[in-house]
Structure 1
Amino acid sequence: MSRRTTWEGTPCPIARAADVLAEPWTLLILRNATAGTTRFEDFRTQLGIADNVLTTRLAKLVDRGLLTKLPYRDGGRTRHEYRLTKAGSDALPVLHALGAWGDAYTSAEDAAGPMQLVHVGCGELTRPGTFCDSCGKPLVRDDLAWRASRLREGTIPLAEPVG
């Protein structure tokens, strides 16, 4: 029996989502894109990923409609930024759920702690959902930011989707 290489087109939505999101590095690239990373060099530095692997994963995320590739000038060269599309931005609840699950059921010697979601409107921590846990106001994407783990400081506005 031959090994399945794609779940694309299968009736199961979990299998189709896994086909797009379950490759090694893909979720980490999306995590960083959600936190505002857009440039190849920044992804490479932040993730410690090999150039060839990063190139392949970014291309697949562009092909699958989760990122869009936008040119910019860097000195005399044209380079590209990778920005979240609506589909990429809509993966945020999946990242939250995986982070919460990983925090609850896995461990590391020097765990940094999970990224926390901050409702900028009131400045308090909240969980993904429709309303802020602290003030009760509706959660709007533009009013949300990440609070980084203890290894990094400050809050990072969620990246704006393109398109």
Structure 2
Amino acid sequence: MPLRSDWSDSQCPLARGLEVLGDPWSLLVLREVFFGKARFEDIKASTGIADSVLSKRLSALTAHDLLARRPYDDESGRTRHEYVLTPKGEGTLPVLNAMIHFAEQHLGAPSESAHMQIIHSSCGRRTTSADRCDACHEELTADTTTWVSFARAEGPVQLAGSQ
């Protein structure tokens, strides 16, 4: 028996959004793709997600046109697929930014390395808004946003946009 109803035809936009983005693994997969992790094994390694769960989430995100599959040949010459954001997928950036801001403002971090900052790369300023820069008021897009995750060794990361 399903745990909830299908909300895809709901009159409530929040319920319809939850139908697509309401699963925590889906948001973490999107986070990794924004961070530039496009391949199954890279997403798996960054999240610790089980193969079967990751396969289902990638299929769902692709079915909802948030991600697109793009073929590539691995080292052995075998054709595999990587996942890139679509314009619709890039439209989830304010949702992820809002979640980051909520957690930073209202939820305690287990360590100093468990913090993230959102930087508007066009003006170089940190922002606490999900969709517009606090300083210059320009729209935040993947092309103009950098995430700084203190837990990631690579430092500030320019986000991957739609391909």
Q: Any unmatched runs of 5+ in structure 2?
A: none
TM-score normalized by structure 2?
A: 0.86
Q: 1:67 to 1:132 in 2, by over 3 A?
A: same
Q: Percent identity?
A: 38
Alpha-carbon RMSD across the aligned residues, in angstroms, is 2.1
Superposed CA deviations along residues 61-113 of structure 1, whole A, max 9, x for unmatched, are: 00011100111011320010100111111111111111111222222433634
Q: 1:132 to 1:64 in 2, by over 3 A?
A: same
**Partner Cα distance (2:51, 2:28) in 1:** 15
Q: 1:69 to 1:151 in 2, by over 3 A?
A: closer
Q: Is the 8 A contact 2:131 2:140 kept in 1?
A: no
**Partner Cα distance (1:25, 1:140) in 2:** 23
Map of 1:80 onto structure 2: 81
Map of 1:57 onto structure 2: 57
Superposed CA deviations along residues 24-53 of structure 1, whole A, max 9, x for unmatched, are: 311111111112110000000000111111
The amino acid that maps onto 1:38 is: A
SS, match of residue 100 in structure 2: helix
TM-score normalized by structure 1?
A: 0.86
**Partner Cα distance (1:140, 1:56) in 2:** 29
1:5-154 alignment, distance < 5 Å = 5-74=5-74, 75-110=76-111, 112-127=113-128, 128-133=130-135, 136=136, 138-139=138-139, 141=141, 142-154=143-155
Counting matched residue pairs gives 159
Q: In terms of mean alpha carbon deviation, does 53-62 or 114-123 score higher? A: 114-123
**Partner Cα distance (2:110, 2:123) in 1:** 34
**Partner Cα distance (1:5, 1:138) in 2:** 38
Q: Any unmatched runs of 5+ in structure 1?
A: none
**Partner Cα distance (1:71, 1:44) in 2:** 18
